Structure 1
Amino acid sequence: MQSISLDTLDCKILSLLQANGRISNLELAEHIALSPSACLRRLRLLEEQGVIARYQACLSHEKLGFELEAFVHVSLRHDLESWHEKFARTIQEWPEVVGAFVVTGESHYVLRVLTPSLKHYSDFVLQRLYKAPGVMDIRSNIVLQKLKDEIGVPAELLSAVARA
């Protein structure tokens, strides 16, 4: 994987965008003491290099009525042909799975699942997840309280990359 070289101004741009993705180029330029055209050139370069992967709004799960979030550890049988590829395709079809990770440890995957209720979650697990080909073991960890839920890369880590 190719590493991108960032300077201090790039890191400031990225930090400001993570805090407010709707900031105008003019405001962004003012915050980092650049001309709007120079700021826009840097921003476009960060987008072209893939450093800025996308822009999105962060929605409130609670305000929208999603009361249950769970981290689900899933282990699969290895005796099925293409077990990983089949499972990876299957979870793409489930809207409840909002995050999916291949991990080391006792399970093969960790899924982040979001549902409006315990009943919906129970139905999802029993009617779809347990019935997915090759699923051998499921262990759920239901989120009781969020202590920290950051999206993106913290400014302190961005600055460390710029110094490296």
Structure 2
Amino acid sequence: MNAISLDATDCRILAVLQHEGRISNLDLAERISLSPSACLRRLRLLEEQGVIERYRACLNREVLGFELEAFVQVSMRNDQENWHERFAAAVRDWPEVVGAFVVTGESHYVLRVLAHNLKHYSDFVLSRLYKAPGVMDIRSNIVLQTLKEDSGVPVELVSGASHTVATAK
């Protein structure tokens, strides 16, 4: 792990980019009170250091026809050889699974699943998830309403005069 130092200007750049990823360098520089060349230099350094992993668009799932969202807890049978590797490989092939996490607690995994409707979700669970190697139990939590959703990092918690962040290299 290498340590990098983020100052308040770096944090302001990151905060703006998390909310407006398509902002031009000129507009970004103006927003954070830097010259365009200094802003671009800092931006490239943040990219090179791995602080900025990638740029992407946030899509509206409902407009695209994904009306159902579920968080699914999956418990596995531990008596099968390579149960984790086999399940992880299966999860990577399922487009409905948009998030997959190994967790502590009663289950082994939590999956975030998007489906067009209840039939699509039911088909996914019955024809793929239940048939995955080692699956013992599935508990679905259908999302009724989203109160907060932000895939960003709370940059305001790292801001200050200077903040050192450990990065993997």
**Range into which the TM-score falls when normalised by the shorter chain:** over 0.9
Query: Once structures 1 and 2 are overlaid, which stretch shifts more, 84-93 or 1-10?
Result: 1-10
Q: Matched residues in 2 for 1:161 and 1:134: separation?
A: 50
2:8·2:161 contact (CA, 8 Å) conserved in 1?
no
Matching of residue 104 in structure 1 with residue 110 in structure 2: no
Count of matched residue pairs: 164
Question: 2:11 touches 2:158 (CA, 8 Å); kept in 1?
Answer: yes
| 1:4 equivalent in alignment to 2:4 | yes
Shift of 1:162: 4.4
Q: What TM-score results when the alignment is normalised by the length of structure 1?
A: 0.95
Q: How far apart are 1:78 and its partner, in Å?
A: 0.8
Whether 1:18 aligns to 2:9 is: no
Question: For residues 69-117 of structure 1, what are the alpha-carbon distances to aligned partners after superposition, in whole Å with 9 as ceiling and x for unaligned?
Answer: 0000001111111111111111000000000000000000000000000
Q: What is the rounded CA distance, in whole Å, between the counterparts of 1:28 and 1:160 in structure 2?
A: 19
- What SS does structure 1 have at the residue aligned with 2:149? coil
Are 2:73 and 1:68 equivalent residues in the alignment? no
Amino acid at match of 2:89: R
Deviation at 1:156, TM superposition (A): 2.0
CA distance in 2, matches of 1:12, 1:53: 17
Matches within 5 A, 1:18-97: 18-97=18-97
Q: CA deviation at 1:154?
A: 2.5
Greater helix share, structure number: 1
For residue 113 of structure 1, what is the aligned residue in structure 2?
A: 113
Aligned to 1:4, what secondary structure does the other structure show? strand
- Higher relative strand content: 2
> SS state of the match for residue 46, structure 2?
helix
1:110 is paired with a residue whose SS is strand
Report whether the alignment pairs 1:131 with 2:131: yes
Secondary structure of 1:13's counterpart equals: helix
Distance 1:156 1:91 in 2: 33
How big is the shift at 1:161?
9.4
Deviation at 1:50, TM superposition (A): 0.9
Structure 1 residue 160, shift from structure 2 partner: 5.9
The range that moved more, 105-114 or 151-160, is 151-160
Aligned twin of 2:167: none
Q: Corresponding residue for 1:143?
A: 143
Counterpart-to-counterpart distance in 1, 2:108 and 2:6: 34
8 Å contact from structure 2 (residues 7, 160) kept in 1: no
Counterpart contact for 1:6–1:162, Cα < 8 Å: yes
CA displacement at 1:68 relative to structure 2: 0.2
**Are the equivalent residues in 2 in contact too, given 1:11–1:162 (CA < 8 A)?**
no
RMSD across aligned positions (CA): 1.5
